[in-house]
Amino acid sequence: MSTSDWPRPVVHWHLEARDLDKLRAFYAELFSWRIGDGPIAEVQAGFGGPEPGPGGHLQEGTGGFSLYVQVRDIPETLRRTEELGGSVRFGSFDVPGGPTIAGIADPEGNPLTLVQQ
């Protein structure tokens, strides 16, 4: 990388839903996300996240993306995930030198990772 170049941050994400109304309700209820109406439903940015913005990582796997969502209470969020029609992919554990995380899937099977606040 040249000295005049800079790392490009992730500035947006999107999730394609087979049933937009179902996923809109799931995410609004589970994460208190404010989600707009219409065929392209805007999700307003939250607060309290990392500054200056989200980082990420690459790893070997089968392909795809995952969202990492900060929550206050992983056990409660796992319980609510199942109540709302999602599923638990993996239970919580402490990342060595890092946060406590757990994995869920939304009602359409899209993976997400919960990060303890």
Give the pLDDT confidence of 82-114 residue by residue, as tens digits: 999 999 999 999 999 989 999 999 999 999 999
Model confidence band, residue 23 (pLDDT cutoffs 50, 70, 90) = very high
Distance from C-alpha of 77 to C-alpha of 58, rounded to nearest angstrom: 26
Q: Taking residues 70-87, what's their average pLDDT? A: 97
Residue 102: Cβ within 10 Å count: 21
CATH classification (class only), 20-116? alpha beta
Distance from C-alpha of 44 to C-alpha of 36, rounded to nearest angstrom: 8
Quote the pLDDT of residue 1.
56
Could you read off the pLDDT of 35-66 as tens digits, one per residue?
A: 999 888 998 887 777 676 677 777 777 877 88
pTM over 0.75: yes
The structural domains of the chain, with segments of one domain joined by +, span 20-116
Quote the pLDDT of residue 82.
98
Amino acid at 31: F
Quote the pLDDT of residue 116.
92
Paired residues of 101 in beta bridges = 93, 115
